[in-house]
Amino acid sequence: MTDRLLKIAVPNKGALAEAAADMLRSAGYRQRTDPKDLTLIDVDHNVEFYYLRPRDIAVYVGAGHLDLGITGRDMLLDSEAQADEIMSLGFGGSHFRFAAPQGQGNTVSNLSGKRIATSYPGLLQVWLDAQGIEATLVKLDGAVESAIRLGVADVVADVVDTGTTLRRAGLEMFGDSICSSEAILIRRRGGDDPAGMDGLRTRLGSVLVANNYLMMDYNVAEGDLAATTALASGVNGPTVSQLAKNGWLAVRVLVPRKGAHLLMDRLFEAGARGILLTELTACLL
């Protein structure tokens, strides 16, 4: 351990805050328990967490005041920060899309000259420039979906997750996704790797693996073992141990979360009994 603390920015509010803190907790780090705390030191890991607005995180990290940060890919791209994405974190997924009132036949090809409301002017301008489209950007802080009804814009470009907010505003998406976003870990561009960065990445990676796998345990008669382990052979092969009941074995195996219940059905048909599926918190393969 070095004396210098690794300084990490974490979203303090909004769509990413809770999931970011949960992921860090699952990775073994301490997190604040009082949402009014601005910082927290995890002495065991030599890390200091700073709770900041997700939009500001790229600015602090890019300027080198903080070593690493968790923010959205769209927010990093919207900023002019000298920071790079080093890991995607598997939550906070969204798309940045154009939308306009339903049934007006809007297309990207007729965006020229339109007023486009957005909270992501940097991200949008880069895209418009690349397409050679000249439009007027109307920069808003949020609730962009209301901008057309209120007369300040013809089109919006905004974050879409389920699409509920757009539908409620009577809008429909058009054009391809401008940016596919999710929560990411960022670091300053250039310079040496901050001490402790690789350790953090390994820990976060262990949570990603844990999110994608489940632990499966079952009992099986010796004669059916080959059939069941053929269905689920695990990462390094199944762990097989003796049961107290004569002729029966206990099997433990990691299985992908996707399809785990269908696999359970097939194992049961192949003779497995007492099948258990258990969540993992962290998993270093």
Ligand X SMILES: O=P(O)(O)OC[C@H]1O[C@H](OP(=O)(O)OP(=O)(O)O)[C@H](O)[C@@H]1O
Ligand Y SMILES: Nc1ncnc2c1ncn2[C@@H]1O[C@H](COP(=O)(O)OP(=O)(O)OP(=O)(O)O)[C@@H](O)[C@H]1O
Q: Which residues bind ligand X (CB under 6 A)?
A: 15, 142-145, 158-165
Beta strands, E only, 13-146 = 39-42, 47-52, 68-72, 83-88, 94-101, 115-118, 136-139
Closest C-alpha to 83, from 66, 65, 58:
58
* Residue 16 binds ligand Y (CB under 6 A): yes
User: Do residues 14 and 55 make contact, with C-beta atoms less than 8 angstroms apart?
Assistant: no
Find the farthest-apart pair of alpha carbons in the chain and give their distance in angstroms, rounded. 79
Smallest gap from residue 159 Cβ to ligand Y (A) = 4
* Residue 75 binds ligand Y (CB under 6 A): yes
Smallest gap from residue 200 Cβ to ligand Y (A) = 20
**Which CB, 61 or 214, lies closer to ligand Y?**
61
Of 13-21, 144-152, 218-226, 269-277, the window that binds ligand Y (rule: CB under 6 A) is 13-21
* Residue 159 binds ligand Y (CB under 6 A): yes
Buried b (16+ CB within 10 A) or exposed e, 44-59: ebbbbbbbbbbbbbbb
Q: What are phi and psi of 281, to 5 degrees?
A: -95, -45
Q: State the DSSP string of 148-180.
A: TTTTS-SEEEEEESSSHHHHHTTEEEEEEEEEE
**Which CB, 82 or 146, lies closer to ligand X?**
146
């596919």: which residue's tokens? 180
Which partner from the list ligand Y, ligand X, none does 163 bind, CB cut-off 5 to 8 Å by kind? Answer: ligand X
Of 35-43, 69-77, 247-255, 260-268, the window that binds ligand Y (rule: CB under 6 A) is 69-77
Which partner from the list ligand Y, ligand X, none does 16 bind, CB cut-off 5 to 8 Å by kind? Answer: ligand Y
Q: Which of 106, 118, 181, 211 binds ligand Y (CB under 6 A)?
A: 181
**Which CB, 79 or 229, lies closer to ligand X?**
79
User: Do residues 99 and 166 make contact, with C-beta atoms less than 8 angstroms apart?
Assistant: yes
Smallest gap from residue 75 Cβ to ligand X (A) = 11
Smallest gap from residue 51 Cβ to ligand X (A) = 17
Question: Which string of x and - marks every residue 37-66 that binds ligand Y (by CB under 6 A)?
Answer: -----------------xx-----------
